[in-house]
Structure 1
Amino acid sequence: MKSRIKLIICTLCLFFITTAARPLESNAAIPILEIVKAVTKKVIKAIDLGIQRLQNKTIWLQNAQKQLENTLSKLKLDEISNWTKKQQDLYKGYYEELQKVKSIITYYQRIKEITSKQTRLINQYERAWNLLRQDSHFSSSELQYMQKVYQGILEESMKNIDQVFFILESFTTQMSDLKRLEIINQAADQIDENYDDLMLFNKQNVLMSLQRAKTSSDAQKVKQFYGIP
């Protein structure tokens, strides 16, 4: 993916250099954006709901474990050893379940961090694209090329979201922690890669606009327009 994006970016930069700026025409927003935004929101909602349920379960298990712990501390083990053994087994079951729930919560939090970066990718794209479409230094044809690059990045981000969904579903299947962690790290790396591609492309576009500024006053306006200090 990264090499493909880099190739497109280089091609686009060459196109910018060899093409004179023409009057800006209106360009529609990339259609896949709304799909990416909707699915990302769905993932975030599922994560928040999952964490809430697990936290409630944690509280219940902790309370049950505490009650059993208090009961066991008051028992005369030599008099009612059989009954105590059952309670000890129950306590052990609560403890193991509690540890499992806490482990899953940790995974959920990690997945939430990954999804948050996906949200930042969407926000960075929207901000950049809205500004670029208003920048008179770019022609309609150039904006169409930009749109293709952004489209590619957003399509790749959809694959990342699918990966996150797969991780969420893994909590209902028999998957080892090692395998789950491997998938989580892979998804994180892919989202980082797409985010870096997007930020690099945004930066190159702004730089190109600055290079096309004919006067220092025009360059200052470009900096103000894109919020560059």
Structure 2
Amino acid sequence: MKTKIVSCLICLLLVSAPVRPVEKTAALPILEIVKFVTKKVIKAIDLRIQRLQNKTIWLQNAQKQVENVLSKLKLDEISEWTKRQKDLYKGYYEELAKVKSIITYYQRIKEITKKQTLLVQQYEKAWNLFKQDRNFKENELQYMEKVYTGILEQSLQNIDQIFLILDSFTTQMSDLKRLEIINKSADQINSNYDDLMLFNQQNVLLSLQRAKTKADVNQVKQFYGIP
């Protein structure tokens, strides 16, 4: 369902976006979708983590109460405990372990989503500079726009996988399968980020190569913050 919603948003944006040359203030249409979905994921994860942490505190307190009762009983009294009481203690322990495991998953997912946020930030920083760089022609900026759009679309697909992982906690998905999806998403996000950074570096290098004088080179370096 999440995938369909995101796909529909992309289609609507692309249809409504007029065909135009790259403008100095232009931003990729898909960027706002990526930002919106990424923020939504982080907000959902933070909310779930908070709820699980509250549940952890409650379970820990309940477990301590049971342990306190156990410490006050004699050996023969412990052996006379009813099965329900023993199962209750066992249930607290198992539920606490399960909750802590899910929190670990959520923390890992949040790290992946933060890398997605960093990808967007690096894109915006570089793209805003490239559009102001006089060393690039109009058709070259249009090519950059296509490449950046492709990278952002791929990263959005990775967010779809994260939604799938979040939904998996309400289904019968195994931990092994869930971990497999998490690792795959992390690898893909890292790959997208590396592709973006490499493309940025190549464009900066091209601008430096086109600088005709030493003063021009220094100006380009200053413009991109290169020491």
Same fold (TM over 0.5): yes
Q: Report matched runs for 1:105-120 at 5 Å.
A: 105-120=103-118
- Which residue, out of 205, 215, 218, partners 1:220? 218
Cα shift at 1:76: 3.7
How high is the TM-score relative to the length of structure 2? 0.87
- Which residue, out of 29, 53, 56, partners 1:55? 53
Q: Report matched runs for 1:1-229 at 5 Å.
A: 26=24, 28-79=26-77, 81-229=79-227
**Contact 2:116/2:155, CA 8 A, preserved across alignment:** yes
CA root-mean-square deviation: 1.5
- 1:78 counterpart SS class: helix
Cα shift at 1:73: 1.9
Cα shift at 1:78: 2.9
Higher RCO (CA 8 Å, separation ≥ 6 residues) = 1
**Contact 2:207/2:220, CA 8 A, preserved across alignment:** yes
How high is the TM-score relative to the length of structure 1? 0.86
Which blocks of at least 5 consecutive residues in structure 2 are unaligned? 1-21
Count of paired positions: 206
**Contact 1:27/1:140, CA 8 A, preserved across alignment:** no
- 2:90 counterpart SS class: helix
Q: Tell me the distance in 1 between the aligned counterparts of 2:77 and 2:53.
A: 37
**Contact 1:26/1:140, CA 8 A, preserved across alignment:** no
Cα shift at 1:89: 1.3
Q: Tell me the distance in 1 between the aligned counterparts of 2:129 and 2:100.
A: 44
Cα shift at 1:77: 5.0
Amino acid at match of 1:130: N
Amino acid at match of 1:209: S
Judging changes above 3 Å, is the alpha-carbon distance between structure 1 residues 73 and 25 closer, same or farther for their aligned structure 2 residues?
A: closer
Q: Tell me the distance in 2 between the aligned counterparts of 1:148 and 1:223.
A: 25
1:3-60 Cα offsets, whole Å, 9 max, x none, are: xxxxxxxxxxxxxxxxxxxxx9535210000000000000000111111111110000
- 1:136 counterpart SS class: coil
Judging changes above 3 Å, is the alpha-carbon distance between structure 1 residues 108 and 178 closer, same or farther for their aligned structure 2 residues?
A: same
Which blocks of at least 5 consecutive residues in structure 1 are unaligned? 1-23
Q: Tell me the distance in 2 between the aligned counterparts of 1:25 and 1:101.
A: 50
**Contact 2:31/2:152, CA 8 A, preserved across alignment:** yes
- 2:76 counterpart SS class: coil
1:165-199 Cα offsets, whole Å, 9 max, x none, are: 10111111111111111010000011011001100
Q: Tell me the distance in 1 between the aligned counterparts of 2:73 and 2:83.
A: 11
**Contact 1:25/1:139, CA 8 A, preserved across alignment:** no
**Contact 1:118/1:191, CA 8 A, preserved across alignment:** yes
Counterpart position of 2:17: none
Cα shift at 1:79: 4.7
- 2:48 counterpart SS class: helix
- 1:175 counterpart SS class: coil
Q: Tell me the distance in 2 between the aligned counterparts of 1:228 and 1:79.
A: 74
Cα shift at 1:82: 4.8
Counterpart position of 2:15: none
1:51-107 Cα offsets, whole Å, 9 max, x none, are: 111111000000000001111222245357554432221010000000000000111
Task: Calculate percent identity across the aligned residue pairs.
Answer: 79
Cα shift at 1:142: 0.9
